[in-house]
Amino acid sequence: MKNKLISVSLPTIKRLPTYLNVLEELKVEGKTTVSATDIAKRLSLIPIQVRKDLSATGIVGKPKIGFEIEELGKAIKALLGWENDRDAFLIGAGALGSALLGYNGFEQHGLKILAAFDSNPDICDTEIHGKRVFPMEKLRDLIERMKVSIIILTLPAEFAQEVVNKLIGTGIKGIWNFSPVTLDVPKEIIVQNENLASGLAVLSTKLTERNNG
Amino acid sequence: MKNKLISVSLPTIKRLPTYLNVLEELKVEGKTTVSATDIAKRLSLIPIQVRKDLSATGIVGKPKIGFEIEELGKAIKALLGWENDRDAFLIGAGALGSALLGYNGFEQHGLKILAAFDSNPDICDTEIHGKRVFPMEKLRDLIERMKVSIIILTLPAEFAQEVVNKLIGTGIKGIWNFSPVTLDVPKEIIVQNENLASGLAVLSTKLTERNNG
DNA sequence: TAGATTGTTAATCGATTAACAATC
DNA sequence: TAGATTGTTAATCGATTAACAATC
């Protein structure tokens, strides 16, 4: 069981959500089955890669027909752990934090942002996109009382570590880190670093190559 | 020359911005040189990987001392094409788009967002984080007049392709795409897809593994 | 000097891609 | 049936990691 899950490669996991998007499109179009070839076409991938990725779900397709869209979608969600909601708090309700509070797509992905926290008294006890903003002082207490397991961290780099220190021992299991720093956490807490600059680096490098090439 | 640039691997390019962050920290601390070992420590990487990545810049370090921080920083920026500003427009001033308008870090990375565009008349001709929001009708004309080469696309999936079609032939060279769809563009336009769901997929998969393992 | 750190070449590892028999 | 598509096993490709001589 454990081995099964761990054996799915990271690149595959990152592609799986895009397959889910395609499946949603296909449902809207009234389709009930889809081939790896079709999915590949819509995502500009090669069919072999899609087939290999989908094989990680354990779902078997039918030659000449493909996969049951409904069944495949459920299997991908199960593999990603997106079947059940996880409760999350967001820390740092600045520009990026506010944007994430307003993005409804996360709930489809099993992530439910219950509330936000910020040290700025001007926005404390207000609501942003319908989500309450609490002062930092209430963070530990509310995490424990509400048994929140995920933190979305959208703080300026210089404050990130100090706030993360407060999270240790609260039962937090994962941190989705948008602050551009490497966090120092005990190994039982999983950190997923998100770095917009990486994507920009790829784009601008390619543009530079194109110009000079 | 061309080969030199193309030979830098994508994973390396994605890591380079994090090295820049470390260099900035070190400058603040008053350091003038740094070893690959130190950089690795701060980023929880292994020294060999850092050394290999840095070798792509062409900068040579001194045994026992390391690299000149100033020189290394400039070389990384040059490699990433972050030396000169590129002008960009942002299309879709919703929650995420507004957040990106408010993020000042991009200018350090050679990306200058001049203005935003949105189809919602309520926000047209207003300013968001000091950036003017124009109606869509003015998009083509302004791209051409201001010779903008990069588009940041933060539209809902269903409108993305139709807007991208309007960009073709305007001189746009790159699209930084935050809309969760695969864009169909002529091959001279470079698209960099940004997908928040991928990061969330990795985090939740790891959390699921941890629970079951 | 001694030893930490470098750059480079080689080995390992893992992901992608190809080949192909099975089958609806 | 014929052929498109599947799942699996093997080959290729590329990135990471290791080994090591050079050197400040």
Residue A129, token pair as written in the block: 């996109």
Q: Per residue of chain A (213 residues), give pLDDT as tens.
A: 333 345 799 999 999 999 999 999 999 999 999 999 999 999 999 999 999 999 999 999 999 999 999 999 999 999 999 999 999 999 999 999 999 998 888 988 999 999 999 999 999 999 999 999 999 999 999 999 999 999 999 999 999 999 999 999 999 999 999 999 999 999 999 999 999 999 999 999 999 987 775
Distance A172 CA to C9 C1' (A): 45
Band (pLDDT 50/70/90 cuts) for residue B181 is: very high
Percentage above 70 pLDDT, chain B: 97
For B207, the closest of A100, A106, A173 (CB atoms) is: A173
Distance A45 CA to C20 C1' (A): 21
- Among left, alpha and beta (phi > 0; psi -120 to 50; other), residue A124 is beta
Across chain B, mean pLDDT equals: 94
Single-letter amino acid, residue B74: K
Contact yes or no for B99 and A103 at CB 8 A: no
- The reply to whether the CB atom of residue B52 sits less than 7 A from any atom in nucleic acid chain C is yes
Band (pLDDT 50/70/90 cuts) for residue B105 is: confident
Tell me which of A203, A208, A209, A212 to substitute to probe the interface with B (most B C-beta atoms closer than 10 Å): A203
* CA dist., res. A198 & res. A166, Å (int): 28
A2 contacts on B by Cβ (under 8 Å): 209, 212-213
Tell me which of A200, A210, A211, A212 to substitute to probe the interface with B (most B C-beta atoms closer than 10 Å): A200
Distance A10 CA to C15 C1' (A): 10
For A21, the closest of B86, B98, B180 (CB atoms) is: B180
Tell me which of A128, A184, A205 to substitute to probe the interface with B (most B C-beta atoms closer than 10 Å): A205
For B199, the closest of A192, A204, A212 (CB atoms) is: A192
Name residue B111's beta-bridge partners: B86
Per-residue pLDDT at B209: 83
Per-residue pLDDT at A1: 35
Q: How distant is the Cα of B211 from the closest Cα of chain A, in angstroms?
A: 10
* Chain A to chain B Cβ contacts (< 8 Å): 203
Per-residue pLDDT at B104: 82
B53 contacts on A by Cβ (under 8 Å): none
Of A146, A18, A69, nearest in space to B177 by CA: A18
Per-residue pLDDT at A2: 35
B128 contacts on A by Cβ (under 8 Å): none
Q: Which residue has the tokens 């049951």?
A: A68
Contact yes or no for A201 and B80 at CB 8 A: yes
Asked if A154 and A97 count as a contact pair (C-beta separation under 8 A), the reply is yes
- CA Rg value for chain B: 20
**CB-proximal positions of chain C, under 7 Å:** 3-9, 14-19, 22-24
DSSP string, chain B: -HHHHHTS-HHHHHHHHHHHHHHHHHHHTT--EE-HHHHHHHHT--HHHHHHHHHTTT---BTTTBEEHHHHHHHHHHHHT-SS-EEEEEE--SHHHHHHHH-THHHHTTEEEEEEEES-TTTTTSEETTEEEEEGGGHHHHHHHHT--EEEE---HHHHHHHHHHHTTTT--EEEE-SSS-----TTSEEEE--HHHHHHHHHHHHHHHHH-
Band (pLDDT 50/70/90 cuts) for residue B4 is: very low
Distance A73 CA to D7 C1' (A): 19
- The reply to whether the CB atom of residue B4 sits less than 7 A from any atom in nucleic acid chain D is no
Residue A120, token pair as written in the block: 């700025």
Three-state secondary-structure class, residue A78: helix
* CA dist., res. A164 & res. A166, Å (int): 5
Residue A187 DSSP code: T
Per-residue pLDDT at B7: 79
**CB-proximal positions of chain D, under 7 Å:** 3-9, 14-19, 22-24
* CA dist., res. B164 & res. A142, Å (int): 44
- CA Rg value for chain A: 20
End-to-end CA distance of chain A: 49
A10 contacts on B by Cβ (under 8 Å): 202
Q: How distant is the Cα of B41 from the closest Cα of chain A, in angstroms?
A: 10
pLDDT digits (tens, 9 = 90+) for A124-137: 999 999 999 999 99
* CA dist., res. B83 & res. A56, Å (int): 43
User: How do strand B33-34 and strand A111-118 relate by DSSP bridges?
Assistant: unpaired
For A192, the closest of B82, B95, B203 (CB atoms) is: B203
Of B115, B9, B73, B1, nearest in space to A212 by CA: B1
